Structure 1
Amino acid sequence: MYDAIVVGGQLPGIIATALLARRGLQVLHVPHDGLSQPYTHGELKLPQAPFLIPPVKGTPAFDEVLSELGLSAVISRMVQATSLQLLSPGQWFELTHDEKRRGPELARALGDAAEAFDELTRKAQASADASDAFFQSKPDLPPDGLIARWKFKRHVARFAGLETDTPLPADQLLTKLRPFVSSSDVPLARARTLGRTLAGPAIFPGGREGLWAQLADRARELGADVLPGDEPIERLVLEGAGAGVRLSRHDAVYRAAFVVAAMDLDVLTRLVPDKQRKAAAKALPQVNADKAIFTLHLSLPERALPRGFGTLALLEAPELEGGALLLQVLPGVNAEQRVLAVSGLAAIGLRAGGEPAVRAFTAQLHAAVARVMPFTKAHITAETTPWLDAPRVVAGEGEPAPLFQLPESSWLGVSGHGTQSPWKRVLLSSRQVLPGLGFEGEVLAAQRAVRQVEAVLRKNDPLKRKTA
């Protein structure tokens, strides 16, 4: 019997797995939903969605996790700091963090408006700091239970800065980066996620799936049993003490004191025995999504990209939902090839129209890109999107990048589901817990689940001591 079984392929799950193993607990991790792995198209292995993270030191919770896991040096070397380029018809410039280049670059592109724009972006970065003291206090966000909610309200009252908003105007192109880093459009989410990202956007080789793989390797080294990403779960086992899982390819049932769910609640509910699904009826509608980040991958020779084009850009596209596209250059199948990832907002209902509807939408993306790269399309050798080519996504087993609508009861406008699930001994540690905080929210959700598992296990068995 395990101390905890973690199910689901989202980042909070593998972070929790590694931390629990580091602290001497016996952990089984079953990814199940396919979100932990890149999808393949021909010779290409591709991330299912864009993945931007702030600098490691700019996300204290993540820095703390890496330090505990002994991964600080490894991950810091792998994280690739980059500069964001801003593209619109007639204007193309780089928001570089090289102080010697920044001034001349902004002056070239913006003329007399350069100084004001520079000051605005620096204020946007600084706006993220206003809530630092609150998050450094490690609050239980979101609070679970009546007493916890009362304590949380008192705790929040001690801190200023939680209402600080980004100074970026709503119609500013930079503001349109927000859906790519956060699901919530409230002051705290805008200030914290935009400010941190603008301070130094970074990418990870292989995207979210690449980071997941690094954390999974470390979890295995620490003694966790991490199953392959395509290992499906037949159902959760909720009878008796604790909880467990039955795998589709095995007769055995694996049991633990807790199941930690790193998957969206609707996916989790489908694994629950029929007679117990009704328990989720009230919670399911509270956090849902009718839009998602759609990504189109275009394979092409490096020479087909415009001269001076970097690795990350935000393209103005007023005719599309969200008003902008995120462009990222990924490695191709060889040194001469690249993959241009084009990401934008799309209605999830688009998939109901099948391939013709998806192809019609990709045509709109092509048209937007052609305004700044008119000669690129002729050089494209292949194109693919997870909505058509990633089997688990097509089957509806996991959406790579949904934009969640948060409930009116959301704490500080950034929380979704609480960590207590509708079923006893099943904890939620997914992107739906703190979707308004983006990547930082996923890390905080993992740390919260670890604290909850430890609190109960250590209380019941004092011999389960945290390892040094």
Structure 2
Amino acid sequence: MAQILKPPSTQRVYDVCVVGSQLGGAVAGALLAKRGYRVLHVDHDGVGATYLDGGYLLPYAPAVLFGPRQTPASEAALVELGLHTDVARLLEPSAPDLQLLLPRHRVDVPRDPALRARELAREWPADAARLTEALGAVEKLFAAATPFLKELPPLPPEGFGERRALSKALRAVAAGPEGHVDEARPFAGLENHPFAAALLTAQRFLTYLDGAPSPFSLNRLLGCALHGTFRMPGGYEGLRELIRKRIGEHRGELLGGGEGPAAVAEALELDGQKVASLRLVDHKDHFVAKAFVLATDAPAVRRLLPQGESRLAPLLEPVRPERQLLTVNLVVKKAALPPALGSTVLALRDARGPDDLGNAVLLQVLPARKDTRRGQGEVVPDERVVCAAGFVPADARERGEPFLREVGEQVLAAISDAVPFFERHLVRQSVPALAAHDRRGSRLLPHPLYRVEGEQAFGVTGLQPRTPYKNLFFAGREVVPGLGLEGEFHAGVQAAQAVTGLLGKVLGRK
């Protein structure tokens, strides 16, 4: 039975309360604050953009970002928030956009089609024409789906009617000579080619879904990558914190966060068919709101629910984490890096092999920054950070420190393939799962891969954004996991739209 709310002695009242550290929640909260609603953002499980080890500010994982104009939801959100130019200024293009290191090949995948064709002709002259044609088809399918996503379709759709309408809409805007974007497979017949197989593995580092990727997911994510990849200070967390600050700048309230005092959510209090308030650990106040947005992992949501709650908990069951990234950071002298090494690199021991840690590792080369207690820290000119990660089981932390050190050694072996003899120039070695274990939120899964049971729209969706509680919405990465970063923005914009509609009725706004 739902818990009956007893009026607390002290209440703090808001229009919207956002709980959780994920990007979609920050997007939803910032948009709602910009629209004039009083927003509280409780970042009870955030880790901040970096962690400190040995005086260096280090990333939690590699982060492949895309330009704001590449995806409709991110462009719409950043333009409305006045952050489009700021984000564009902070993004640093990867050079090349992606590099594939294979046992017998090193191939750059730049955004320029002519340069890509030249690279393919150099490495695989007999297959270059077919591979170039497949990449061109991916770009066309990516462009064909953009008008559909620009309409901000409800993902996942609710009920048969919405599912049918969405399928019809997608086919209307995305039909072309390559086929429909939710069915076309540009690499059909090329799956065993080393280049095509490597790109299919690269997609795994851009999505939050485990298992075979759907055509829609594959074409959107690889299409994004072919239009250019970027890095920025702090990676995904740096982007999220930039957006989150907008809440405070529009007279919203921020609690918790990587750099501030902890604000740990303890429980949601229910009143019939609505969420009434939020309680924080060691806090005397009850935080009352007309609407609530959750942007935290499903296990954390379960812990917030009253014992015996039976309406929301079953909806969380179909989405479960299978794997996560395990990262190793190396601070090395610049001289350690081979001249031809790119800034975003997928290293594969077997191009046709699995996408697990034993075979596939994503590396990013980043500036080394010393902690100065100010902003992003001070860049060390002659040093670089090699941030490398591969996928391990979701319960890797629960297996203990010896297991984490063991899999960390596998990452080091992969780094040795890309950066031979790095030990001669090694300044610092750090594993975030070990070095940042005491930080609030550090037990969250870095870049999880979820297994979704049941029906999925276009093979990309997970949790329903609307819940059995009329004023409670999801905006986390589990909503549209198959679209990766684009899906996080979509979930955030979608939640803001739903809350705006609800509060427009409650508060009498148009």
Same fold per superposition (TM over 0.5): yes
Residue type matched to 2:200 in 1?
T
State the shift of 1:329 in Å. Answer: 0.7
After the TM superposition, which of the residue ranges 385-394 and 355-364 deviates more from structure 2? 385-394
Partner of 1:134: 148
The one of 185, 201, 204 equivalent to 1:179 is: 204
Separation in 2, partners of 1:16, 1:51? 21
The one of 260, 280, 296 equivalent to 1:247 is: 280
Partner of 1:23: 35
Q: Given the superposition, is the C-alpha separation of residues 295 and 126 from structure 1 closer, same or farther in structure 2, using an over 3 Å criterion? A: farther
Partner of 2:186: 167
Residue type matched to 1:85 in 2?
Q
| Count of residues paired in the alignment | 463
Residue type matched to 2:186 in 1?
P
Structure 1 length as normaliser, TM-score? Answer: 0.91
- Could you give the per-residue CA deviations for residues 349-392 of structure 1, whole angstroms, max 9, x where no partner exists? 33333111111112222222323322113432322223223336
State the shift of 1:300 in Å. Answer: 1.2
Contact 1:130 1:164 in 2 (8 A): no
Partner of 1:195: 223
Partner of 2:335: 303
After the TM superposition, which of the residue ranges 239-248 and 78-87 deviates more from structure 2? 239-248
Residue type matched to 2:366 in 1?
L
Verify: 1:452 aligned to 2:498, yes or no.
Answer: yes
Contact 1:127 1:166 in 2 (8 A): no
Contact 2:335 2:425 in 1 (8 A): no
Residue type matched to 2:201 in 1?
K
After the TM superposition, which of the residue ranges 263-272 and 234-243 deviates more from structure 2? 234-243
Residue type matched to 1:331 in 2?
P
The runs of 5 or more residues in structure 1 that have no matched partner are none
The runs of 5 or more residues in structure 2 that have no matched partner are 1-12, 370-379
After the TM superposition, which of the residue ranges 169-178 and 11-20 deviates more from structure 2? 169-178
Separation in 1, partners of 2:313, 2:493? 27
- Could you give the per-residue CA deviations for residues 144-166 of structure 1, whole angstroms, max 9, x where no partner exists? 35665565566556554242334
- Could you give the per-residue CA deviations for residues 117-159 of structure 1, whole angstroms, max 9, x where no partner exists? 3333333332322322322332111123566556556655655
Partner of 2:290: 257
Partner of 1:51: 63
Q: Given the superposition, is the C-alpha separation of residues 101 and 37 from structure 1 closer, same or farther in structure 2, using an over 3 Å criterion? A: closer
Separation in 2, partners of 1:34, 1:23? 25
SS in structure 2 at match of 1:211: helix
Percent identical across equivalent pairs? 32
Partner of 1:362: 408
Separation in 1, partners of 2:160, 2:308? 28
- Could you give the per-residue CA deviations for residues 402-436 of structure 1, whole angstroms, max 9, x where no partner exists? 10112222222111010123545221110000001
Pairwise CA RMSD: 2.5
Partner of 1:329: 365
Contact 1:415 1:433 in 2 (8 A): yes
SS in structure 1 at match of 2:418: coil
The one of 287, 303, 307 equivalent to 1:270 is: 303
State the shift of 1:326 in Å. Answer: 1.0
Structure with greater helix percent: 1
User: What are the residue-to-residue correspondences of 1:26-425 with 2, within 5 Å?
Assistant: 26-82=38-94, 83=96, 84-98=98-112, 102=116, 104-144=118-158, 148-149=162-163, 152=166, 155=169, 158=172, 160=175, 161-168=180-187, 169-171=190-192, 172-184=197-209, 185-229=213-257, 230-239=262-271, 242-276=275-309, 278-318=310-350, 321-322=355-356, 323-333=359-369, 334-391=380-437, 397-421=443-467, 423-425=469-471
Structure 2 length as normaliser, TM-score? Answer: 0.84
Q: Given the superposition, is the C-alpha separation of residues 451 and 98 from structure 1 closer, same or farther in structure 2, using an over 3 Å criterion? A: closer
Residue type matched to 2:88 in 1?
S
- Could you give the per-residue CA deviations for residues 282-307 of structure 1, whole angstroms, max 9, x where no partner exists? 22320001211222111111111111
Separation in 2, partners of 1:320, 1:156? 32
Separation in 1, partners of 2:494, 2:441? 31
Separation in 2, partners of 1:183, 1:13? 17
SS in structure 1 at match of 2:400: helix
